[in-house]
């Protein structure tokens, strides 16, 4: 049956079948190829999208803006300072206003319930540009990147190290489970994803031929991994006070040369970015002054190595966000 995602929201990959996810990855590859060849995909003229960012962003905002411009669409960026959202106007009212003017709405912010409420009231597709719980647009970019470097998803060993109970860990576990990969969260047990989500992903994995594993043991957890993935130890919106406990708990789960050497020969390193791998950031310097660590979730050596595909991932954010907008607005 042909896949048709017109009118659908894009809030979490839980809502999508493996075939629909595959379709979005394929469409991303197609629009990437067209962009490289200079073939325009600009038949969305006359449409407009709103981008709501309650947290900061480089990749996601730029991807939505560049993709929308490429598609011929108008874009309006709203940040918490420059709009009434949340302070003077509820999410439901905002959704009903924006839904009258725009053809689609992106939201980056805090609880998943906020983006769900927007979607309930907007009457147009709503795209989750990151919440505390999920980061689904990143998943399509990551799957495209994996496909480009390693081919078929089925049977690949995917290891996530670090804070596995937040947006990236949750979303990657879902994506791997749906696509038939063997997902391992290799981290301290208080950072394992929540049991309910693990159980749900185990169901997806049963259907796809994948598996889910949780381990605190780095040696066995990362052995023969095809993909090593990590993310920042402290996410946007979390207080500075948590740095001390994160560093203590997650330092053993840094992605370094020893970890990469334990992985498969063809292993790749992935990170959604931004990453703390040197002292060239304000926060990186502050952490160094307070805790004496010059590299956090990944060493500079691994980040800069030829196994690192992080900038392919970053580029693929734009192509995949274009595909997500096209599919949900209706492929023309």
Task: Name the residues that contact ligand NVA, by CB under 6 A.
Answer: 130, 166-168, 231-232, 235-236, 272
User: Which does residue 235 touch among ligand NVA, ligand CP, none (CB within 5 to 8 A, set by kind)?
Assistant: ligand NVA
Residues 256 and 259: their CA atoms lie apart, in Å, by 5
For residue 136, how many C-alpha atoms fall within 13 Å in the half-sphere facing its CB?
22
Nearer to ligand NVA by Cβ, of 188 and 235: the residue is 235
User: Which does residue 58 touch among ligand NVA, ligand CP, none (CB within 5 to 8 A, set by kind)?
Assistant: ligand CP
User: Which does residue 107 touch among ligand CP, ligand NVA, none (CB within 5 to 8 A, set by kind)?
Assistant: none
Nearer to ligand NVA by Cβ, of 3 and 236: the residue is 236
Binding site for ligand CP (CB under 6 A): 57-60, 130, 138, 272-273
User: Which does residue 269 touch among ligand CP, ligand NVA, none (CB within 5 to 8 A, set by kind)?
Assistant: none
Smallest gap from residue 132 Cβ to ligand CP (A): 13
User: Which does residue 168 touch among ligand NVA, ligand CP, none (CB within 5 to 8 A, set by kind)?
Assistant: ligand NVA
Q: Which two tokens stand for residue 212?
A: 């889910």
Closest-approach residue to ligand NVA (CB): 235
Residues 245 and 305: their CA atoms lie apart, in Å, by 29
Identify whether 15 is a catalytic site residue. no
Q: Which two tokens stand for residue 167?
A: 């947006």
Identify whether 108 is a catalytic site residue. yes
Q: What is the DSSP string of 58-84?
A: SHHHHHHHHHHHHHT-EEEEE-TTTS-
Q: Is 270 helix (H, G, I), strand (E, B) or coil?
A: strand
Per annotation, catalytic residue among 70, 103, 163, 231 = 231
Per annotation, catalytic residue among 61, 147, 246, 317 = 317
Smallest gap from residue 210 Cβ to ligand CP (A): 24
**In 3D, which of 20, 12, 26, 24 has the Cα closest to residue 201?**
12
Identify whether 246 is a catalytic site residue. no
Q: Which residue has the tokens 């502050």?
A: 286
Smallest gap from residue 305 Cβ to ligand NVA (A): 21
Identify whether 176 is a catalytic site residue. no
Burial of 179 (0-12, 13-18, 19+ CB in 10 A): buried
Per annotation, catalytic residue among 59, 61, 103, 108 = 108
Cβ contacts of 103 within 8 Å, gap of 6 or more? 47, 48, 49, 73, 124, 125, 329
Nearer to ligand CP by Cβ, of 57 and 254: the residue is 57
Smallest gap from residue 179 Cβ to ligand CP (A): 20
Q: Are the C-beta atoms of 74 and 68 separated by less than 8 Å?
A: yes
Q: Annotated active-site positions, please?
A: 108, 135, 138, 231, 272, 317
């Amino acid at each position: 049956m042909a896949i048709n995602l017109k009118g659908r929201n894009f809030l979490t990959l839980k809502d999508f079948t493996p075939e629909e996810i595959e379709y979005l990855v394929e469409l991303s590859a197609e629009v990437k190829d067209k962009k490289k060849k200079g073939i325009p995909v600009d038949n969305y003229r006359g449409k407009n999208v709103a981008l709501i960012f309650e947290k900061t962003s480089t990749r996601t905002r730029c991807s939505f803006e560049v993709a929308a411009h490429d598609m011929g669409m108008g874009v309006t960026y709203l940040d918490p300072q420059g709009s009434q959202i949340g302070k003077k106007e509820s999410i439901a009212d905002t959704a009903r206003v924006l839904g009258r003017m725009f053809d689609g709405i992106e939201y980056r912010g805090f609880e998943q319930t906020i983006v769900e409420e927007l979607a309930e009231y907007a009457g147009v597709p709503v795209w989750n540009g990151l919440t505390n719980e999920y980061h689904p647009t990143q998943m399509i970019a990551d799957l495209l990147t994996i496909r480009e470097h390693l081919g078929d998803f089925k049977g690949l060993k995917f290891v996530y190290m670090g804070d596995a109970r937040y947006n990236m860990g949750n979303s990657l576990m879902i994506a791997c489970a749906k696509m038939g990969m063997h997902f391992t969260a290799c981290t301290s047990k208080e950072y394992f994803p929540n049991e309910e989500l693990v159980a749900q992903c185990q169901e997806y994995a049963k259907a796809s031929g994948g598996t889910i594993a949780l381990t605190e043991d780095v040696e066995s957890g990362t052995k023969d991994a095809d993909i090593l993935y990590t993310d920042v130890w402290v996410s946007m919106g979390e207080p500075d006070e948590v740095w001390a406990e994160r560093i203590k708990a997650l330092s053993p789960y840094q992605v370094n040369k020893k970890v990469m050497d334990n992985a498969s020969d063809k292993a790749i390193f992935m990170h959604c970015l931004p990453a703390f791998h040197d002292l060239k950031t304000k926060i990186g310097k502050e952490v160094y002054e307070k805790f004496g660590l010059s590299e956090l979730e990944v060493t500079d050596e691994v980040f800069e190595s030829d196994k690192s595909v992080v900038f392919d991932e970053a580029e693929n954010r734009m192509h995949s966000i274009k595909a997500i907008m096209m599919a949900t607005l209706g492929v023309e």
